[in-house]
Structure 1
């Protein structure tokens, strides 16, 4: 498979005062994840061993596990960036739905900007579609996705509970968190549908944003 830099959504939260040691660790973590993703897309998730990923990056298997607790987390580590972004839900000056839409828009813009920067945008779209197909066809990755979604809901519920001054397990922040995190599923599904239609990156961004905002309108106005 042609080598292509994978979209680095996780790099949206680089500290301005990042020290050289932290930068070195961040870049190694990114290289491990990107190498694993390319290998999984090329050969399938189950056919690739962690030792092979380590060898490809010139590190030991132990080093890989120091950065990623499981094989599944190598390809789905972008959820960590989203979880960090969800802290904005605690901001009392920003409506929660608006905050969630801003995070989604930022992630979508990062992806479509990456596509625009590729020499072969069709190949870039194909990679993203293959990534989605890999997630849907691999039971271990599906299970990990569900666990990651639960963690996002917990992070959102905690931020919303802090905002409202109630317990995290109270019904209101919990149901609000579930609804807001559901917008990520809408964005993921919309991406796949519109990518298959062969849209340009700009058209893709507008079409997916429109779908997400349609879903958000339901949350805003109520069932």
Structure 2
């Protein structure tokens, strides 16, 4: 499949880091803005919703929306920075190889989504919403371009981390980074496929993780030199 990875997760699908009241309020506002925008985009289409309408629905100014999200696209696809931060932390651990580190981040994301689905009163309807989200994200030109840009950013950062970690050349590190970041594409495609099969949340998590690990096994030889 040609689409890039989609890292959006529903509000509450991943646990927030603890923090003070101000930080919690900021996270809550960010989640509210993203959830409201996502609902409106799914109902009416990405191009037919203006940022001013999202702001009005949340009772804030348009400027406030852009204080949290730099672009309209990032309102829907808002988790690249979370993935990047988690990968930075995981790859900085010398006790874990790059591939196990990436799999740990992917597992956390899959478990978060699985837990969110399990909490929904109608898991089938929730699964249908996730499928519609993915279809919207790969059928809208602006969203596809945003995903490609963010994936390039993620790949560049991972390549730099791998090069620093193992002392390899830039081309080698970039090739490995492309393969590593590609696991998120596998995760997204697997999720879309298995959501359509109406599995219970716990089974969905098992199937998606199995697909990701199959892909990881295929690229494992190239990471032996990275420690």
Mapped partners of 1:85, 1:195: distance in 2: 25
Mapping for residues 119-158 of structure 1, pairs under 5 Å: 119-158=121-160
The Cα of 1:20 is off from its aligned counterpart by: 1.7
Residue deviations 1:59-79, cap 9 Å, x none?
A: 000111111111001011111
The Cα of 1:159 is off from its aligned counterpart by: 2.1
Does residue 90 of the first structure (1) align with residue 92 of the second (2)? yes
Distance 1:28 1:7, change over 3 A: closer
Mapping for residues 118-197 of structure 1, pairs under 5 Å: 118-165=120-167, 170-197=170-197
Deviates more, 1:213-222 or 1:91-100: 213-222
Mapped partners of 2:173, 2:12: distance in 1: 30
8 A Cα contact 1:125 1:195, kept in partner = yes
8 A Cα contact 2:159 2:176, kept in partner = yes
Gaps of 5+ in 1: none
Mapped partners of 2:93, 2:161: distance in 1: 8
- Other-structure match for 2:28: 27
Question: Alignment RMSD, CA only?
Answer: 1.6
Identify which of 12, 33, 54 aligns with 1:8. 12
Mapped partners of 2:93, 2:10: distance in 1: 31
Residue deviations 1:110-146, cap 9 Å, x none?
A: 0011000101000010010000110111000000000
Q: Could you say what secondary structure the match of 2:204 adopts? A: helix
Gaps of 5+ in 2: 1-8, 223-227
The Cα of 1:166 is off from its aligned counterpart by: 5.4
- Other-structure match for 1:43: 44
Mapped partners of 2:70, 2:103: distance in 1: 30
The Cα of 1:45 is off from its aligned counterpart by: 0.4
8 A Cα contact 2:11 2:31, kept in partner = no
- Other-structure match for 2:225: none
Mapped partners of 1:158, 1:57: distance in 2: 39
Identify which of 89, 95, 110 aligns with 2:112. 110
Mapped partners of 1:188, 1:215: distance in 2: 13
